[in-house]
């Protein structure tokens, strides 16, 4: 079906998302950090990206911004996996909230398998 | 000093007749007298005893009356001297008066004349004594005032809080070292200059203008948090109050500054800690939840009904924990006064619909139905969107959790005076009267046979209450055990 890049620093989460997506016959490319995610987005040219926000090496907002700022990759739809924590005023992530709009969609973790599938379908449909 | 009414009179006269005659006349009046026949013995009597009045003959052999007078002026300035002199030597009397004698009486004199002149002297003495008493009293009062002033100044100067007193024009009339330190001011404040000009702090200026404004004559004072200074910002809670005279006119202002910079810093550290902790707590739970839901959905192979039942229970517990972490986070934010800062115009019915939509899945599982009644004229409110969602989500979620299978939830929104009234009712287990007052307490959960299976954090309702109160509203609860529970939220209406 589609090639989807899953980026999260938590390998367990990457694994479970992979299982969910593979159950719908999608091809999954895994990345375990922001930098690796960015590299794979460029080398693998996936049809969609599921991107965690809070990652130690390079956070999801930055990855998203770089991809959306590059015309070669800006059309790849991105689903941001946010945490409620990212909405706290005065925290490091709040100042970058505005960038969320650059992503095509976002959802709070944890996400139900059924909902994730729906969101990905919507993402792929554009 | 002699007792108040005691009068001792010394008579110095070389003429025996006059000396003894005078003594007789005066003793009869009740005054104590002593006599001396010449200057020397008179002076020695003065040395030994205390006299108030001296009846002094000027013409005496030995030391003259004039010399005695000089001696008296030097050593006994308080003594009233009445000189006795013949008509032929009236000039002597005049010069004696110039030298400090109080009065004179010409010889020969009648008993009445003598009594009269002595009575006058006594009256003068009495007046002098009264004046002296008054002076002492006044001195004491002045001392008291000075002491009081000193005490007040000492208190003000040694207070840890800053004190700033202005007149009605906003000019500083009094301040203490603490405020100089806090605001990093020059030692000498620009007294003549209006504080509104030199403070350079708009919030403070506004506050003081408000307090000093005669139109706000009924105002009792204002408290406000101020931030001050660049680049090292300091934070103060300032309490400002007008000073009035008896007629109620504003004479000036007193402002007390309480330095809360350290508390702010601690608060920021607490928030950072809570942020970090909740992220670290949530992340693994989210991950675990995700993995279990992959199993329960059958994506990792077939599972038995028994396994699914257990795993679903595990998911519920995890959800409870995740919700608790979110609430803990929200609560720490609202305590920091941050949660309600982004107020906007909100149409509550819209949020009600969203929340009902969001919770309908959970309600369906228990066969619970919603009955939403909304007055189409309901006022908008001025509120923080996310907070309002939290309020409704918590109330509706509770109404589902504590409801019975196949129960009903009714949600009502209507205007009530200047408020919007929101009611969420369920016909579930109800709340016993003795528990009602505690349900808004943090971490309080009612533990009964019926609620044991319900997953909750005990933080939902305290959070709801904090939010509602931060919006100047109120929340109440009524319950009929085994039948129904109704939560009523009143929120002040916003502008149209």
DSSP string, B278-319: HHHHHHHHHHHHHHHHHHHTTTTS---HHHHHHHHHHHHHHH
| Better-scored residue on pLDDT, B148 or B200 | B148
In A, residues 37-96, which contact B (CB 8 Å cutoff)? Answer: 54, 83-85, 87-91
Q: Where are the beta strands (DSSP E) in B129-284?
A: 162-167, 172-175, 222-228, 234-244, 250-259
Separation between Cα atoms, residue B26 and residue B400, nearest integer Å: 111
The mean pLDDT of B283-307, rounded to a whole number, is: 90
Phi/psi of residue B328, each to 5°? Answer: -60, -45
Chain B interface disruption, residue of A15, A16, A17, most B CBs within 10 A: A16
Q: Are B51 and B9 in contact (CB under 8 A)?
A: yes
pLDDT attached to residue B341: 57
Q: In terms of CA atoms, which chain A residue is nearest residue B287?
A: A13
- pLDDT band, very low/low/confident/very high, at B442 (cuts 50, 70, 90): low
- Residues of A whose CB is below 8 A from B297: 20, 113-114
pLDDT attached to residue A27: 96
pLDDT attached to residue B95: 85
pLDDT attached to residue B107: 83
Separation between Cα atoms, residue A30 and residue B487, nearest integer Å: 48
pLDDT attached to residue B264: 78
> Are A16 and B294 an interchain contact pair (Cβ–Cβ within 8 Å)?
yes
| A13-30 confidence digits (pLDDT tens) | 999 999 999 999 999 999
pLDDT attached to residue B449: 62
Q: State how beta strands B369-374 and B53-57 pair.
A: unpaired
Q: B72 is written with which tokens? A: 């008296």
- pLDDT band, very low/low/confident/very high, at A92 (cuts 50, 70, 90): very low
Question: What strands, in cross-sheet order, belong to the sheet with B8-12?
Answer: B32-36, B8-12, B53-57, B80-86, B103-107
- Residues of B whose CB is below 8 A from A88: 271, 275, 329, 333
- pLDDT band, very low/low/confident/very high, at A86 (cuts 50, 70, 90): very low
- pLDDT band, very low/low/confident/very high, at B425 (cuts 50, 70, 90): very high
Separation between Cα atoms, residue A65 and residue A98, nearest integer Å: 11
Model confidence at B35: pLDDT above 50: yes
- Mean pLDDT of the residues in chain B: 84
Phi/psi of residue B235, each to 5°? Answer: -120, 135
Q: Which helix (H) or strand (E) holds B404?
A: none
Q: Judge if the upstream peptide bond of residue B442 is cis by omega within 30 degrees of 0.
A: no
- Residues of B whose CB is below 8 A from A17: 290
In B, residues 162-181, which contact A (CB 8 Å cutoff)? Answer: none
Separation between Cα atoms, residue B36 and residue B18, nearest integer Å: 12
What is the C-alpha end-to-end distance of chain B, expressed in Å?
A: 85
pLDDT attached to residue B495: 61
| Better-scored residue on pLDDT, A95 or B419 | B419
Q: Is B408 helix (H, G, I), strand (E, B) or coil?
A: strand
The mean pLDDT of B305-315, rounded to a whole number, is: 91
- pLDDT band, very low/low/confident/very high, at B231 (cuts 50, 70, 90): low
> Are B341 and A89 an interchain contact pair (Cβ–Cβ within 8 Å)?
yes
Burial group, residue B386, by CB count within 10 angstroms (0-12, 13-18, 19+): middle
Give the gyration radius of chain B's Cα atoms. Answer: 46
Q: Which residues contact A41 (CB under 8 A, 6 or more apart)?
A: A5, A49, A63, A67, A73, A76
- Residues of A whose CB is below 8 A from B287: 10, 12-13, 16, 110
Q: pLDDT exceeding 90 applies to what percent of chain B?
A: 24
Least confident of B110-124, B223-237, B434-448: B434-448
pLDDT attached to residue A93: 44
Ramachandran region, residue B109 (left: φ > 0; alpha: ψ -120 to 50; beta: rest): beta
> Are A88 and B271 an interchain contact pair (Cβ–Cβ within 8 Å)?
yes
Model confidence at A90: pLDDT above 50: no
The mean pLDDT of B428-444, rounded to a whole number, is: 76
pLDDT attached to residue B147: 92
pLDDT attached to residue A85: 46
Q: What one-character DSSP code corresponds to residue A102?
A: G
Closest CA to B294 of A86, A30, A17: A17
> Are B294 and A19 an interchain contact pair (Cβ–Cβ within 8 Å)?
yes
* pTM for this model (two decimals): 0.47
ipTM: 0.76
pLDDT attached to residue B343: 73
> Are A90 and B291 an interchain contact pair (Cβ–Cβ within 8 Å)?
no
User: How would DSSP label each residue in B429-446?
Assistant: S---HHHHTTTTSTT---
Residue A12 has its nearest CB partner, among B291, B293, B333, at B291
Q: pLDDT exceeding 70 applies to what percent of chain B?
A: 89
Separation between Cα atoms, residue B373 and residue B220, nearest integer Å: 43
pLDDT attached to residue A110: 81
| B138-169 confidence digits (pLDDT tens) | 999 999 999 999 999 999 999 999 998 988 88
> Are B299 and A112 an interchain contact pair (Cβ–Cβ within 8 Å)?
no
> Are B329 and A88 an interchain contact pair (Cβ–Cβ within 8 Å)?
yes
- Residues of B whose CB is below 8 A from A109: 282-283, 286, 290
Q: In terms of CA atoms, which chain B residue is nearest residue A8?
A: B287
Q: Which helix (H) or strand (E) holds B391?
A: helix B385-401
| A44-55 confidence digits (pLDDT tens) | 999 999 999 888
- Residues of A whose CB is below 8 A from B389: none
| B351-362 confidence digits (pLDDT tens) | 899 888 888 888
Least confident of A4-13, B52-61, B244-253, B331-340: B331-340
The mean pLDDT of B109-136, rounded to a whole number, is: 90
The mean pLDDT of B392-401, rounded to a whole number, is: 89
């Amino acid at each position: 079906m589609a090639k989807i890049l899953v980026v999260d620093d938590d390998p367990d989460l990457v694994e479970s998302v992979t299982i969910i997506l593979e159950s719908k016959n999608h091809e999954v490319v895994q990345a375990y950090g922001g930098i690796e995610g960015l590299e794979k987005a460029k080398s693998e040219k996936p049809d969609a990206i599921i991107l965690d926000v809070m990652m130690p090496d390079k956070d999801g907002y930055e990855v998203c911004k770089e991809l959306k700022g590059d015309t070669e990759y800006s059309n790849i739809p991105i689903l941001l996996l946010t945490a409620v924590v990212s909405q706290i005023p005065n925290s490091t992530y709040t100042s970058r909230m505005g960038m969320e709009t650059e992503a095509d969609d976002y959802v709070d973790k944890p996400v139900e398998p059924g909902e994730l599938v729906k969101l990905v379908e919507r993402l792929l449909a554009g | 000093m002699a007792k108040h009414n005691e009068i001792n009179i010394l008579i110095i006269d070389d003429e025996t007749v006059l000396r003894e005659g005078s003594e007789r006349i005066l003793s009869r009046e009740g005054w104590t007298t002593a006599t001396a026949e010449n200057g020397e013995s008179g002076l020695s009597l003065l040395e030994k005893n205390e006299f108030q009045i001296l009846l002094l003959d000027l013409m005496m052999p030995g030391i003259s009356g004039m010399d005695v007078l000089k001696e008296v002026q030097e050593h006994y300035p308080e003594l009233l001297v009445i000189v006795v002199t013949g008509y032929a030597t009236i000039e002597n009397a005049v010069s004696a008066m110039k030298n400090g004698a109080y009065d004179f009486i010409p010889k020969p004199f009648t008993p009445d004349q003598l009594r009269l002149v002595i009575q006058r002297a006594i009256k003068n003495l009495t007046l002098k004594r009264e004046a002296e008493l008054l002076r002492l009293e006044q001195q004491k009062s002045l001392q008291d005032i000075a002491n009081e002033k000193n005490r007040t100044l000492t208190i003000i100067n040694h207070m840890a809080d800053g004190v700033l007193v202005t007149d009605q024009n906003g000019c500083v009339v009094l301040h203490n070292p603490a405020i100089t330190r806090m605001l990093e001011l020059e030692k000498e404040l620009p007294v003549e200059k209006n504080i509104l000009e030199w403070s350079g702090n708009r919030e403070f200026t506004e506050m003081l203008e408000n307090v000093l404004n005669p139109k706000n004559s009924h105002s009792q004072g204002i408290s406000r948090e101020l931030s001050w200074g660049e680049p090292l910002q300091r934070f103060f809670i300032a309490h400002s109050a007008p000073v009035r005279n008896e007629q109620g006119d504003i004479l000036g202002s007193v402002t007390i500054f309480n330095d809360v910079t350290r508390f702010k810093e601690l608060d920021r550290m607490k928030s950072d800690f809570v942020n970090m902790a909740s992220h670290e707590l949530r992340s693994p739970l989210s991950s675990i939840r995700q993995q279990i839901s992959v199993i329960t959905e059958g994506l990792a192979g077939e599972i038995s009904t028994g396994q699914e039942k257990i795993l679903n229970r595990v998911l519920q517990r995890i959800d409870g924990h995740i919700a608790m972490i979110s609430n803990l986070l929200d609560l720490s934010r609202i305590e920091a006064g941050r949660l309600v800062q982004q107020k906007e115009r909100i149409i509550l019915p819209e949020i009600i619909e969203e929340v009902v939509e969001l919770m309908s899945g959970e309600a369906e599982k228990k066969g619970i139905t919603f009955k939403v009644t909304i007055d189409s004229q309901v006022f908008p409110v001025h509120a923080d969107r996310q907070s309002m969602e939290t309020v409704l989500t918590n109330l509706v979620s509770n109404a589902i959790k504590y409801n019975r299978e196949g129960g009903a939830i009714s949600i009502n929104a209507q205007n009530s005076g200047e408020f919007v009234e929101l009611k969420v009712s369920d016909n579930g287990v109800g709340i016993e009267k003795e528990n009602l007052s505690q349900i808004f307490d943090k971490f309080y959960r009612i533990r009964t046979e019926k609620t044991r299976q319900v997953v909750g954090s005990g933080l939902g309702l305290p959070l709801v209450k904090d939010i509602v109160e931060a919006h100047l509203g109120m929340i109440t609860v009524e319950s009929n055990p085994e039948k129904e529970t109704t939560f009523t939220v009143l929120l002040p209406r916003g502008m149209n």
